[in-house]
Amino acid sequence: MTKLSLEMYLNQNLSTKTAESYIYTINHFLKTNPKAKRFKFQDIVSYMEQVSSKQSNIQYRVRILSAIKRYYDYLVMAGLRNDHPCKKLNIKNKQNPSIQVQDLFSSEELQLLLTRENRYQYLDSRNSVLLSLLIYQGLTSEELTELKIKDIDLDAGTIYIKASTNQNRRTLELLNRQMIVFSKYLNEVRPELLRCNTDKLLLSKLGKPISVDGIHAIIEPSKPLFPDRNLNPRTIRMSVICNWLNEKKIPLEKVQELAGHKWPGTTEKYFKVDSLQQRELINRFFPL
């Protein structure tokens, strides 16, 4: 293994800033642990216990563990290890509790939202665009209201989400099934809906930029599909993030980027815990 190979792997899978941070953390980990290449689960737990004793900041510790996980991802990918010693090791934060994933929605359940028809054809097209951005890209209501026409690049098949106080900026891929829907809305439907001078992507039925309340109103008629759970734009986004991690097994760092989370600890809350033993280990070695 060469440093360049590791750097190339990280830069291919992470943003430049995150890759640089992880390279620094991994190099320190390897320098202080010469036998790290052969570490087992308990070795990493012991190392993180040392980190915990020196640094109480939960986000710092989560970043250290995330970088170490990525190092072992690389070893497995390169054929230098057959197993990943800490893939399911997470840091429990009592001040930042895990999401109640049992109350969220599966990918199949979210698909049901796209089957609802609207009596107005133009609103059907608008709703398809809006709902697809909720259930495929996991956008927040605020991000939906801020989208502009220029943020959609149909040639590249991407959508740009600008940064906000709580979210990082990011460029996300559109699914193939979204391309025709977006093209029809942009070229045919939106011009017919438009009743004011605005470059905002999503319009209300009155032809003005849609509001957060307007987005909630679009979700409201679908609530009877799940009478025992709370369906709203926020729980839809939470479900999407949870499904990325647990259904699709997308790596934590990639999900963090897709969701726009500023800290990996925010993303880590969405992991489903598979084992009581794992929870006991985390509580034992990472108390707050």
44 contact partners, CB below 8 Å, separation of at least 6? 68, 85, 86, 89
CATH of the domain at 67: 1.10.150
Residue 246 resides in a domain: no
CATH of the domain at 214: 1.10.443.10
Given a cut of 50, whether residue 288 has pLDDT beyond it is no
Contacts 24+ apart (CB under 8 A), 164-170: 166/262, 167/140, 167/143, 167/259, 167/260, 167/261, 167/262, 168/257, 168/260, 168/261, 168/262, 169/260, 170/257, 170/258, 170/260
Task: Please write the tens of the pLDDT for every residue from 208-254.
Answer: 999 999 999 999 999 999 988 999 999 999 999 999 999 999 988 89
Same structural domain for residues 77 and 133? no
Residue 258 resides in a domain: no
Residue span of the structural domain in which 13 resides: 3-93+273-285
Residue 171 resides in a domain: yes
Residue 250 resides in a domain: no
Rounded CA-CA distance 153/172 in Å is 10
Same structural domain for residues 78 and 16? yes
Task: Please write the tens of the pLDDT for every residue from 85-138.
Answer: 998 787 765 555 556 766 799 999 999 998 877 666 779 999 999 999 999 999
Same structural domain for residues 20 and 111? no
Residue 268 resides in a domain: no
Q: What is the number of structural domains in the chain?
A: 2
Same structural domain for residues 18 and 83? yes
